[in-house]
């Protein structure tokens, strides 16, 4: 349902008034899948609240654009291109971030892909690609980033899951399995790291406005909105605000939780 590589239409920008404010000054945040969509919205939100953001994605060009936009808005950001599915690349980029920026306080695992088709037609490659990016990637980043966090005895980890991982979605056996696995991984790692003052939580978006949902066309979009009690699609900035709450210093007693952001879709 939620596609982690969405793009946020300019017309749906977050309101200037009423945004949450959290003091993240002096903190370093890693955001994967930060080149567009929900990941970009999260990166911009964390930077607007004082964090120095390490932007991670495969596309160096797109990351450079995001970093430039954050700096133009008065924030701090550095681009670190990386294939999140490769263990050596992930370890190297986390070490590079720690070495250049001095610490790692926040990790948001947002990078993800979809390869939708019904199970009888799903290829091995379509299964493996989604599981590798959506589940192996967060595992690799949590393993690497938890080490400096444990040394600091402080950290905030948020994984971007999906309502598809909670209730399933036809045509998304691979995606739903990856996000369900991410929920289980979140809750397990939360219990392992809680004693070191590191929280681990997940957000589970439902239908979020994006190029992907726009491609459904007006008829299908109307049907989607009818299914959602809020009668509208979510916005990327609304997911980013939920992440901001979970990474706040004041959220230290919130861990092993899944915050659903779906307009009441699954109740």
Among 175, 178, 193, 201, the active-site one is 175
Q: C-alpha angle 59/64/66, rounded to 5°?
A: 100
Reduced to 3 states, what is the DSSP secondary structure of residue 34?
A: coil
For residue 25, the tally of other CB atoms under 10 A from its CB is 9
Residues near 20 by beta carbon (within 8 Å), at least 6 away in sequence: 241, 244, 245
Cβ proximity of 4 and 37 under 8 Å: yes
Q: Does the active-site annotation cover 175?
A: yes
Residues near 26 by beta carbon (within 8 Å), at least 6 away in sequence: 50
Cβ proximity of 187 and 243 under 8 Å: no
* CB contact burial 130-161 (16+ within 10 A = b; e otherwise): bbbbbbbbbbbbbebbbebbeeeebbbbbbbb
Cβ proximity of 240 and 38 under 8 Å: yes
Strands (E), the chain: 28-32, 52-57, 76-81, 106-109, 155-160, 198-205, 258-261
For residue 23, the tally of other CB atoms under 10 A from its CB is 12
Measured CA to CA in angstroms, residue 50 lies from 12, 19, 75, 264 at distances of 23, 14, 7, 31
Catalytic machinery residues: 175
């Amino acid at each position: 349902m939620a596609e982690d590589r969405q793009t946020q239409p300019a017309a749906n920008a977050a309101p200037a008034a009423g945004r949450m404010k959290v003091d993240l000054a002096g903190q370093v945040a890693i955001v994967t899948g930060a080149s567009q969509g929900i990941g970009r919205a999260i990166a911009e939100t964390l930077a607007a609240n004082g964090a120095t953001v390490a932007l991670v994605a495969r596309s160096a060009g797109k990351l450079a654009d995001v970093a430039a936009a954050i700096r133009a808005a008065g924030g701090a950001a550095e681009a670190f291109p990386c294939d999140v599915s490769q263990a050596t690349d992930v370890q190297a980029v986390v070490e590079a971030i720690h070495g250049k920026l001095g610490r790692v306080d926040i990790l948001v695992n947002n990078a993800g892909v979809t390869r939708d088709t019904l199970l009888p037609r799903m290829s091995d490659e379509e299964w493996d690609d989604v599981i590798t990016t959506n589940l192996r990637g967060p595992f690799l980043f949590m393993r690497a980033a938890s080490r400096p966090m444990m040394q600091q005895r402080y950290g905030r980890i948020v994984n971007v899951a999906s309502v598809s991982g909670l209730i399933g979605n036809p045509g998304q056996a691979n995606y739903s399995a990856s996000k369900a696995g991410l929920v289980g991984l979140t809750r397990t790692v939360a219990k392992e790291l809680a004693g070191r003052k590191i929280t681990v939580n997940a957000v589970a978006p439902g239908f979020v406005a994006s190029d992907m949902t726009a491609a459904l066309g007006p008829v299908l979009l109307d049907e989607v909105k009818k299914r959602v009690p809020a009668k509208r699609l979510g916005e990327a900035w609304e997911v980013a605000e939920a992440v901001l709450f979970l990474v706040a210093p004041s959220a230290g007693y919130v861990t092993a939780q899944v915050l659903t952001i779906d307009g009441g879709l699954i109740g």
